[in-house]
Structure 1
Amino acid sequence: MEQTVINGAAPYLSEEITINILKRLPVKSLIRLQCVCKHWENLFKTPFFIAAHLCQSHQNPSFIFSHDYLLNNLPLRLLDYEMHLRDVQKAPQFDFLASASCVGSSNGLLCFVIRVGSRFPISLLVWNPVTGDGREVPISRNVDMDEDDYVLGFGFSPLDNDYKIMAIYSKYGFVSGVDIYSLSRGSWKEIESRNLENVSCYWRTIYSNNGAIFTYGIKNIEDEEVEMIVSFDMGKEVFTLIMISWPPLWRNLNFSLAVYEDKPAIITTSVVRGSSSNVDLWVMEEDTSSWSWIKKFTSGPHPWVFKPGIIWRNEIVVSGFEIGGKTEKHEQCLCLFNITTNELKTLEIRHCFRDFVNYVESFVLI
């Protein structure tokens, strides 16, 4: 290891080597090390160090999930890359009647939508779990709670180095407008969405590391419903409609949108004769001028009932209970399917799971 000696003084590590060591430490350790000296405190806030630490963190991803529907105190849990389970600390507190659900995760930041009962969202929250830093974001427009619906997305735009929230609003079932919130500007703006005319968007969105957000949509064309993936480019702030036929029998399956190798994917689970389940992974592939779903993974039948979740590293994460086993429907297990080996792991965690999101620790500032 390279050391430097000046005028007979004690040797010290060069700045380059010091940064190479520090960027590999967890954020909690770095927060404590801020007290060592002013130089380190300032270093940890520089864009260069934040980016270097984030790049290192992406090599050891975790995932976060909620284990309760009483979310006024956000009881979140984290499973790290070493398969260690722990509670997420410094969770923000809300009004007793409020609940929160996760919109998405990007580079260590989580975005939550906050509601009271079944009412339209009252606000959004962008939050860094390890630093405790957060920003509450008001809803972008006045809406009719009885007539309007919405789809929200959150992600990072590499093109302009900005984190953004996307809000697709619908009236009477069809898209009526799209607003974008920029964390760097601290404001909302309405964007062009004419190519979403006669389109209905459904479900939560998913975010890809290449700066795209995906959701499922249906477009009414000459009184026929055409299924599609709606893709939103976070940097250019434009929508692309990808017409695609869905996997066979998908309407009869439990499924969730996911991302596999930066491509839209679908995790499906199906019950076979009420006594076992299959788990499949479909990935959207382009062939010449058309798109189709290609089955990349299948496993089963298993004596379980599964609910699809996310893709984490090389694992398909689902929750479920064993048919005839010790677990009950309201106390499910976490199950992980290795996409390469087809190995099934079950984790003895008894809760009702939701809001699965991929996550990495970071010093990213809000």
Structure 2
Amino acid sequence: MKNLCRDIPEDVITVILSRLPVKSLLRCKSVCKPWLSIISNPSFIKSHLHNAIIASRKIPKIANILDPVQFLELQDLSFTCPVHIDFIVMPHLFHETLLEPHVIGCYNGIICLCDMSGMSVYFWNPSIRQCMKIPSPPIHECLGASINFGYDLINNDYKLLIVNYRQNSDNQSSIIQVYSANAGSWREFEARIKRNWMGSTSGNTTVKGVLYIQCSEGLISFNWHTEVLVLLPFPSFTQRRLSPAMNFEGSVAMFFQYVDDESVCLWTLDNVSGQMTWRRRHRVKGNHPGSSLCLTLYLGAGLFYGRKLISPHYHNVLYDSEKNVTKICGPLCLSNNIARGYTESLVSLQGFQQVE
């Protein structure tokens, strides 16, 4: 093995290693010191992550986050699935410190979990079995709060956003709290935000460094770098929304139903000449007036998952946006905690500690 490490050019070894899964790379660290040096290099970690993201676009992947009991129940189920599902067991630490832990989001292999209160939060990379607890933010008397997780592309920084609604306010003023993993601290400022703008994180997504939060009037964009909030109204001619906001191949995507003929169309929110503009991609074929279609999850590779009423029952369906075909499929058998767009990575943050 020593001869292998010495005889093969380092650039060739680097290319080969960058194509391996994380589990294999962790073992390769013990082969020899040169390999350990290569795999631990920040530029290699970035290159490996890039390759993993490219590969995940061809093979849809979802991380199903389970406790040990759920894992035993689901791993024995026999079912066909259109995507690759990673069944990941949460460390006992989370069950000991988090009351009903749930996933807020994931980016570059880093999964963010919090408890019901939103005050106990962890950043966790299950691939390398490392995590860290985020310090609690200053507490304010408020009517409610929403928490979101995202990534600042410019500063390579993982962040949290908490919106606190003031008590006895004019329904406009809120306290914005932002946590930066690079700084290891919170900062806060005030913003004029209607209380009904912010709510559940289930319809939120981050695309190209910008968080999009679904509300009754449109999407609220929050740039993770500039930390600026902007309201982007929904198209005025649509009747109702048939999906949450989703990251569709680098664009924000939603399905809308038209007022006139009840047809369903896929729309994306794109930057056109510096302006965020809604554009219709195509009309969904085979969706007849009166039928109920709800697509809730983008799996990748052009596939959307959801439910459709085919009288008298609802059925699980897959919508292939490339072929413009909707077909009935089996259930995904997912828990309530899923990390969409999950990618294994070697990314480790300052403050990360080993966890079993």
Task: Using structure 1 for the length normalisation, give the TM-score.
Answer: 0.74
Shift of 1:300: 3.3
1:300 paired residue number: 286
Q: 1:282 to 1:181 in 2, by over 3 A?
A: same
Secondary structure at the counterpart of residue 28 of structure 1: helix
In 1: Cα distance, 2:188 partner to 2:71 partner: 34
In 2: Cα distance, 1:10 partner to 1:33 partner: 11
In 2: Cα distance, 1:306 partner to 1:347 partner: 16
2:251 paired residue number: 263
In 2: Cα distance, 1:281 partner to 1:249 partner: 14
Which of 305, 319, 328 does residue 318 from structure 1 map onto? 305
1:241 paired residue number: 231
Secondary structure at the counterpart of residue 287 of structure 2: strand
Secondary structure at the counterpart of residue 30 of structure 1: helix
Secondary structure at the counterpart of residue 238 of structure 2: coil
Secondary structure at the counterpart of residue 141 of structure 1: coil
In 2: Cα distance, 1:278 partner to 1:102 partner: 33
In 1: Cα distance, 2:223 partner to 2:256 partner: 26
2:121 paired residue number: 124
Higher relative contact order (CA 8 A, sep 6+): 2
In 1: Cα distance, 2:64 partner to 2:291 partner: 21
Q: 1:356 to 1:305 in 2, by over 3 A?
A: farther
Shift of 1:25: 0.5
1:274 paired residue number: none
Shift of 1:32: 1.4
Shift of 1:241: 3.0
Q: Please identify which structure carries the higher helix content.
A: 2
Q: What RMSD over aligned residues (CA atoms) do the two structures have, in Å? A: 3.9
Secondary structure at the counterpart of residue 29 of structure 1: helix
- The one-letter code matched in structure 1 to 2:295 is P
Shift of 1:65: 5.1
1:176 paired residue number: 174
Count of aligned pairs between the two proteins: 326
Q: 1:313 to 1:104 in 2, by over 3 A?
A: same
1:103 paired residue number: 104
1:113 paired residue number: 114
Shift of 1:52: 0.5
2:188 paired residue number: 190
Secondary structure at the counterpart of residue 179 of structure 2: strand
1:284 paired residue number: 269
- The one-letter code matched in structure 2 to 1:40 is W
Deviations 1:270-309 (A, max 9, x none): 9xxxxxx986422124667976533324243389965432
In 1: Cα distance, 2:5 partner to 2:104 partner: 51
In 2: Cα distance, 1:73 partner to 1:96 partner: 18
Q: 1:229 to 1:26 in 2, by over 3 A?
A: same
Deviations 1:121-167 (A, max 9, x none): 231111112111111224312144xx522222222212112111111
Which of 22, 29, 51 does residue 17 from structure 2 map onto? 22
Secondary structure at the counterpart of residue 249 of structure 1: strand
Q: Does 1:53 align with 2:48?
A: yes
Shift of 1:35: 1.5
Q: List alignment gaps of at least 5 residues for structure 2.
A: 76-80, 350-356
Q: 1:321 to 1:350 in 2, by over 3 A?
A: farther
2:161 paired residue number: 166
In 1: Cα distance, 2:309 partner to 2:126 partner: 33
Secondary structure at the counterpart of residue 359 of structure 1: coil
Q: List alignment gaps of at least 5 residues for structure 1.
A: 219-226, 271-276
Q: 1:262 to 1:97 in 2, by over 3 A?
A: closer
Task: Using structure 2 for the length normalisation, give the TM-score.
Answer: 0.76
8 Å Cα contact 2:98/2:115 also seen in 1 = no
8 Å Cα contact 1:177/1:190 also seen in 2 = yes
Shift of 1:246: 4.7
- The one-letter code matched in structure 2 to 1:265 is A
8 Å Cα contact 1:229/1:243 also seen in 2 = yes
In 1: Cα distance, 2:336 partner to 2:5 partner: 54
Q: Does 1:359 align with 2:345?
A: no
Shift of 1:242: 2.8
Q: 1:324 to 1:196 in 2, by over 3 A?
A: closer
8 Å Cα contact 1:286/1:292 also seen in 2 = yes
My pick for the range that moved more, 18-27 or 300-309, is: 300-309
Shift of 1:238: 2.1
- The correspondence of residues 83-102 of structure 1 with structure 2, limited to 5 A, is 83-89=83-89, 91-92=91-92, 93-95=94-96, 98-102=99-103
Deviations 1:31-62 (A, max 9, x none): 11112123322322221111010110111224
- The one-letter code matched in structure 2 to 1:128 is N
